[in-house]
Amino acid sequence: MKNSALKGALGALAVVGVALVAKKIGERKKFMRGIFDEYGIKEKSPFGLADKIREMNDEQYQELKGKFKKEFGAGRCCKRREESFEA
């Protein structure tokens, strides 16, 4: 066990990574539950959401689309790449 300290550090880092991923998944599930409740969608699946979108008018659809873009939009890393291409 020459590298036991290194293995311990990597193990701790893996635990932190898993915790961060679990937190992000929980936040996204909470957001989706809020969308289903707000729009009165009883079927908690992508099919139920698609059915509701078909029933919406353009204004409601754009509002929902904006909420999804805000929540699931590209992160800062992509913005930096776009800026570097412009320079």
What's the pLDDT tens digit per position in 67-77?
888 887 765 55
DSSP assigned state of 75 = -
pLDDT score of 85: 53
Q: How confident is the model at residue 13 (pLDDT cuts 50, 70, 90)?
A: very high
pTM for this entry: 0.62
> pLDDT per residue over 16-68, tens digit each?
999 999 999 998 889 888 888 888 888 888 888 888 888 889 898 899 888 88
Between CA 38 and CA 53 the distance in angstroms is 13
